[in-house]
Amino acid sequence: MPITARSSLIPLLLAAALAAPLRAAAPLAVLRSDRAALPESIRRETLAAVDRACDALRAERAPGEALWRRGDSATDPRPAAALCEAGWADPALADALAAVESSLTKPWGPREVSDAALVLLGAAWAGTNPPPAVLRRLERARLDAASPADAAFALTALDAFGADTAAGWDRLAERPVPASPTLSDVAAAALARQARARRRAASDAPSPDVLAHVRWIATRLRLGFRASGARPDPAHPVDPENALLVALAASSLPRRALADPRSGLVPYDWRNHLADRLLAVQLDDPPGRFHWAAADGDERRATVLAVLALRILAAE
């Protein structure tokens, strides 16, 4: 089925890309109006953290360079996604999209898929149409070679532009979950299973397997106020990757599913607590370089993911 790019994309669709049945060119829902918004004090702190991180990303770009450089001197388009605001594209986004398009003549591996997914998420947030050839290439990419997280980001980005992602979500839903899964593994599986359930049922009601995945996440995240006894699980800390995946997965659930505290799901005010956890692990080291750490050492990717997650959490 053809891909339909939308120049009038509502930037807030990222957290609700799975709120509508998944079919090409179907209208996408905006963030649910019944969500529990961030308290104003936390929202201001969240946006300040985003601004600090974006300033640090800009400082990493060499003077006169349109894009960033990796350690191997290759071009890095990913930070452009973080710099885009709702409905506004940073000038670097056009160069980032051009860089991704220029890679179409070469074989794509997991890194190229990850780059394209993040840049397209930024384009969706900014309401910018990417080159159709990039969308078609990502739609045809072998996501089985990508991590569950990158596959989920790629499919979410493709959904934002009306791509036919049914087969991709199904394949991700059918991936075996590791014996010792991470929050990212389970959140990506929840997203995929929710996408499959919505398409099959044409309903926003979460299926039992999706609820089981979210309960697993909730048990380990332990979102809530410390005064109520909520403490993070040290074996499953919040990081930028799993925070963005959880934000996408939780946003796909109708609030009525979260209304009953006995449900075992994330609490109705999960945005508040998830933002607070992610803010708590932002680093200022050396002073003035605000970023997030990454277990694999790719702090730039972690920072881009954190900014995207915080922008979604702070959206009004």
Q: How far apart are CA 210 and CA 196, in angstroms?
A: 10
Q: Which of 80, 169, 192 is nearest to 126 (CA)?
A: 80
Q: Say if 20 falls within a structural domain.
A: no
Domain of 304, in residue numbers:
41-314
Q: Say if 21 falls within a structural domain.
A: no
Q: Half-sphere exposure (CA, 13 Å, Cβ side) for 128?
A: 25
Q: Say if 53 falls within a structural domain.
A: yes
| More confidently predicted of 313 and 8 | 313
Q: Say if 111 falls within a structural domain.
A: yes
Q: What is the pLDDT of residue 263?
A: 87
Q: Say if 1 falls within a structural domain.
A: no
Q: Characterize 194-230 residue by residue with b for buried, 16 or more Cβ atoms within 10 angstroms of its Cβ, and e for exposed.
A: bbbbbbeeeebebbeebbebbbbbbebbbbbeeeeee
| More confidently predicted of 73 and 204 | 73
Domain CATH code at residue 175 = 1.50.10.20
For residue 312, the tally of other CB atoms under 10 A from its CB is 24
Q: How far apart are CA 8 and CA 136, in angstroms?
A: 20
Q: Say if 3 falls within a structural domain.
A: no
Is residue 307 pLDDT above 90, yes or no?
yes
Domain count, the chain: 1
Q: Say if 22 falls within a structural domain.
A: no
What are the tens digits of pLDDT across the range 198-230? 888 766 778 999 999 999 999 999 998 765 667
Q: Residue 106 in contact with residue 94, Cβ under 8 Å? A: no
Q: What is the pLDDT of residue 203?
A: 65
Q: Which of 307, 310, 313, 315 is nearest to 80 (CA)?
A: 307
What are the tens digits of pLDDT across the range 168-199? 999 999 999 999 999 999 999 999 999 999 88
Is residue 15 pLDDT above 70, yes or no?
no
What are the tens digits of pLDDT across the range 80-137? 999 999 999 999 999 999 999 999 999 999 999 999 999 999 999 999 999 999 999 9
pTM here?
Answer: 0.90
Q: Say if 6 falls within a structural domain.
A: no
